[in-house]
Amino acid sequence: MRVVHVDTITEAIKKLAIEAAYYLNPEMIKAFENARDTEVSPIGKAVLEELIENTRLAKEEKIPYCQDTGFAVIFMELGQEVHLEGGLLEDAVNEGVRQGYSEGLLRKSICDPFTRKNTGDNTPAVLHLRLVEGDKIKILFDAKGGGCENMSKVVMLKPSDGLEGIKRLVVQHCYEAAANPCPPVVVGVGIGGTMEMAAILAKKALLRPLEQENEDPELAELEKKLLMEINKIGYGPQGLGGRWYALGVKILKHPCHIASLPVAINLDCHAHRHKEIII
Amino acid sequence: MSNVIKITTPMDEEVVSRLKAGDRVVIDGILYTARDTAHKRLIELIEKGEPLPIELKGAVIYYVGPTPAPPGRPIGSAGPTTSVRMDAYAPKLIEHGVKGMIGKGPRTQPVKDAIVKYKAVYFAATGGAGALLSKRIKSARVIAFEDLGPEAIRELVVEEFPVVVINDSDGNDLYLQNRKQYAMPSPYYSEM
């Protein structure tokens, strides 16, 4: 058994929150450059150029890439051989968010759903915890923007809708989301499970590195097909016209009930901010 | 792309009538920030007949909730938020004199109608380019609803703030025009 003090988790989350806001992953900058070089619309090219410049400025001047520094969503894989001491795990996670958003001068965007009163420190975070083999703790931190989260949904398709029904749902959803989720977007799709499982899968799917192909060849094929069809709609970067509305489609699936075919779509804006650490 | 047009706020009808969907514009002068809750409060004040914290006549409203300003800077990251959330309130503000709105994403029909009827313009700034856009903001101060934190109304003084005209006072819509130009048929989406 390995003993880990919860302060270690607080420190890690604080660091991930700040780094996610300032430093877009290099894979995204590469994706912007590739899109800029291949975009057919002049205004789309100009937008992509601005986004590349924005990544440079944010990094150099250590200010957030986007003013919406997001909802802190954490996927944690906790080794069963780890014994946590010093306090509650959830408190440690929230303390990390609190410190990161305060010290990093990030925007506090979390409020009461009725009164809209801001909680003042961007807590509480959303924590998805899974117990796994071993004595390590893997933390995936996702700073999820509100605009793209709003352009997300879960639909309970009928089994008879099948694969074609899933394709129509995802592409039509992007058509309806239009310029709202800050394209170029990354499209997360969760297929199967129960209603809430599909939603969590869609979000988790977003955290796979953009260039990493799906391990399941059938899903890898579906991701390519969906990306091609979505980019036929013509919205392009920022919805101002062009090809590159989506930079990638990421899918996870799970067995579902014989009566159901749940599908969730979770869009992520070009501020596609996810960082990870293994403790 | 068209040449860049330079304008100064507050805007009048003559300036509004010159701006057409697709024009690239740089703005000098004052922008007022407001998001959902600030809009709701402004409408409540209008309905009660009480004085407003900002002059709406000719005003340009920027839909933004910035990050806190780092030391030595007037403001943190400051890109536009999704405009459609303001659509429940925007027609009333346009009726009361607002001439420009800056945000991202398409507007609903009542806002487009108000833009034509009362002569106003909807601009988009590049969503998510918060670091880049913050460089064009020279000063910022909270002037109302301080309790709203990032959603308080701020007065921003901007220089060459870059935007694109989406909806003009003739009823044109750049999002609709430009998408059609690049759209390719697919069996997986249908036009609405």
Q: At what angle do helices A89-103 and A6-22 cross, to 10 degrees?
A: 40
pLDDT, chain B, mean: 95
- Mean pLDDT of the A216-245 span: 97
In this model, does residue B139 exceed pLDDT 60? yes
**Pairwise CA distance, residues A164 & A166, whole Å:** 5
At residue A210, the pLDDT reads: 94
- SS3 for A250-269 is EEEEEEECCCCEEEEEEEEC
| Domain-terminating residue out of A116, A144, A172 | A144
Q: Domain total for chain B?
A: 1
Provide the 8-state DSSP code for B49.
T
- Per-residue pLDDT, averaged over A134-158, amounts to 97
Residue A236 has its nearest CB partner, among B182, B187, B190, at B182
B188 in a structural domain: no
The total domain count for chain A is 2
Best probe of the A interface among B123, B179, B184, B192, by most A CBs < 10 A, is: B179
Interface test with A, best of B182, B190, B191 (most A CBs within 10 A): B182
Q: Work out the average pLDDT over A56-65.
A: 96
Q: Is the pLDDT of residue B1 over 60?
A: no
pLDDT of residue B192: 79
B191 in a structural domain: no
In a domain, A36, yes or no: no
**Residues A86 and A205 both lie in one domain:** no
* Domain end marker among A120, A144, A168: A144
**A223 and A175 share a domain?**
yes
Containing structural domain, residue A106: 2-21+65-144
The three-class DSSP label of residue B128 is coil
Residue from the list A54, A176, A182 with its beta carbon closest to the beta carbon of B104: A182
Chain B hits for A171, CB-CB cut-off 8 Å, are 186, 188-189
Q: How far apart are CA A53 and CA A61, in angstroms?
A: 12
Q: What percent of chain B has pLDDT over 70?
A: 99
Task: Establish if A104 belongs to a structural domain.
Answer: yes
Q: What is the largest CA-CA distance in chain B?
A: 54
CA distance A212 to chain B (A): 24
* Sign of the torsion angle spanned by Cα atoms A210, A215, A219, A220: positive
pLDDT score at B3: 81
- The enclosing domain of B122 has a CATH number of 3.20.130.10
Query: Would the CB atoms of B184 and A234 count as touching at under 8 Å?
Result: yes
Q: Are residues A218 and A155 in the same domain?
A: yes
* pTM for the model: 0.94
Model pLDDT for residues A177-207, shown as the tens digit of each residue: 999 999 999 999 999 999 999 999 999 999 9
In terms of domains, do A253 and A181 share one?
A: yes
